[in-house]
Amino acid sequence: MNTASLTMQEQHLNSLRELLLSADGKKRAAYVLCGRTVIDTDPWDGQSHRKFTSYEVISVPDNEIISDFAEHITWKTDSFVRALQTAQAKKLTVALFHSHPKGSDKFSSQDDTNEPDLIQLAQNRNGSDTQLLSVILTPEDNLLGRLWITPQETIPLRMIQVVGDSIRLHYPNRGQGVSPVAFQRQALAFGEALNQDLSMLRIGVVGCGGTGSAVAMLLPKMGVRNIALFDKDIVEDTNLNRLHGACQPDANAMTPKVEVVARSLVELGLDVQVKTYEAWVGESICRDVLKALDVIFCCTDDHVGRLMLNRFAYYYVTPIFDMGLAIEVSQTEATSFQALDGRVTVLAPAPGHNCLLCREVINPVIARDEGLKRTNPTEYERRKAEAYVIGEGNPSPAVVLFTTEVAIMAMQELVHRLQGFRGKDGSTAHRVRKFHLMSDRKPAAVPNLSCPVCGNVGVQWWGRGDIVPFLNQVE
């Protein structure tokens, strides 16, 4: 393993603030059980990477604290051993969180002295390959972490990401960079930190049609450098009115959409590194790069792909911005719109972020049929002939004005969650823009407590990361 990172659920960080940032100014400690994600080869730096995701917060009982002051804390290891026991049973990793009340964002000499004993204890009990995370929380809400491999070896966490109503990034020297000339005017509006944050992120675009190509073209212009594109389709004549970057020769040559979009991004000359995957996003060859991503834009129109990503967001604590455009035109002589709706839904393991199943964006029956068509086309055609599956239907209307605006809606939501330009309550988990009525709506969803993704049944999987089978689904 060469690098490591931590992604936290915002609600877990809120719990840690209450536990660790005490009014008496004394140092406090707590444990967080974390899911593990193994990335054999990061697509951008070529290194192996271990990503941890917060799963459960465990407090250190008051009766186990031996002494606590502003500079140090000492407690019995009983609760640590119990945390190790649970972690071993559930195949999780223990993270030790502690506060630095005086605001120091560096590990202290006491940390350096005590933590080797804790990793040694962990390896003695759970095995020699056991690892231990150590994370500092300061009163200024800064986070700094490292991963103990052995009592003699640590790896600094390259990033700690907090995901919820907002997206907060913590990494060395954040806010101290200077924007390239191309982004200096953006910095005048949002500050240097946003430009730096965007340059650090690994962002994926699933589906490179009208909406996806628009998102992809916006990413480098906002300062994103690491981009992954997923689409199995080729450019056709019917795409040319809305697929950004495509031209007639691409349709004539049946060029893959990912190649066309990637070409356009590289030609911008903004130091972007694009990885292309001419595959359906659910294929196993896409998993390593999906797990390496910090943010995903879902611009696909297939239900089965959305169904997989819908679950992925919660298991891997990866914010997914799902987009859709619905155009319904009346069949009367005088053309009128029954619907002209653009939608952006944010999927994340956070209160109020209901999944696509609960919002009835995904049709499970259509998803089933799409999966059958992909894996067993002969059986699909047989069932279609016997009316057991939904037919292909007519193509849906699409207009570049609206596909592009939906992409902009999603990008604005990402920027707000990173920078907060809309104010404290500006995040929107589900926004529908009715273009023909010139209005935005935020439809609520009735929580389904038995939902296997976002309900009480599904919450047990939030932050679990890698499990077998993948996403706990039969393959």
Model confidence over 317-373: pLDDT tens digits? 999 999 999 988 887 766 788 889 999 999 999 999 999 999 999 887 777 676 666
Beta pairing, strands 337-347 & 273-277 = unpaired
Q: Which superfamily does 3-163 belong to? A: Cytidine Deaminase, domain 2 (3.40.140.10)
The answer to whether 397 and 337 have CB atoms below 8 angstroms apart is no
Query: Does residue 396 carry a pLDDT above 80?
Result: no
- CATH level 3 topology of 181-449: Rossmann fold (3.40.50)
pLDDT mean over 78-85: 95
Q: How many CA atoms lie within 13 A of 152 on its CB side?
A: 0
Report d(CA 470, CA 41) in Å as an integer: 18
pLDDT mean over 463-473: 94
Nearest to 475 by CA among 218, 228, 284, 203: 284
* Mean pLDDT, all residues of the chain: 91
CB atoms within 10 A of CB 104: 13
Domain positions in the chain are 3-163, 181-449
Q: Given pLDDT bands bounded at 50, 70 and 90, which one contains residue 389?
A: very low
Residue 357 phi, psi dihedral angles, 5° rounding:
-70, -45
Report d(CA 153, CA 115) in Å as an integer: 11
pLDDT mean over 127-143: 95
Q: Residues in the chain, how many?
A: 475
Query: Does residue 26 carry a pLDDT above 50?
Result: yes
Model confidence over 290-323: pLDDT tens digits? 999 999 999 998 889 999 999 999 999 999 999 9
Report d(CA 357, CA 306) in Å as an integer: 10
Residue owning tokens 């004005």:
401
pLDDT mean over 393-411: 88
Model confidence over 421-451: pLDDT tens digits? 999 999 999 999 999 999 999 998 888 899 9
**Rg (the chain; Cα; Å):** 24
Nearest to 208 by CA among 236, 189, 188: 236
CB atoms within 10 A of CB 392: 8
Nearest to 208 by CA among 186, 183, 241, 235: 235
DSSP readout, 175-208? T-----GGGHHHHHHH-HHHHHHHHH-EEEEE--
Strand order in the sheet with 226-230: 273-277, 226-230, 202-206, 295-298, 320-329, 337-347, 430-434, 439-441
Task: Say if residue 384 is exposed, middle or buried (CB neighbours under 10 Å; 0-12, 13-18, 19+).
Answer: middle
Nearest to 433 by CA among 362, 347, 339: 339
Report d(CA 395, CA 381) in Å as an integer: 19
CB atoms within 10 A of CB 448: 17
pLDDT mean over 207-223: 97
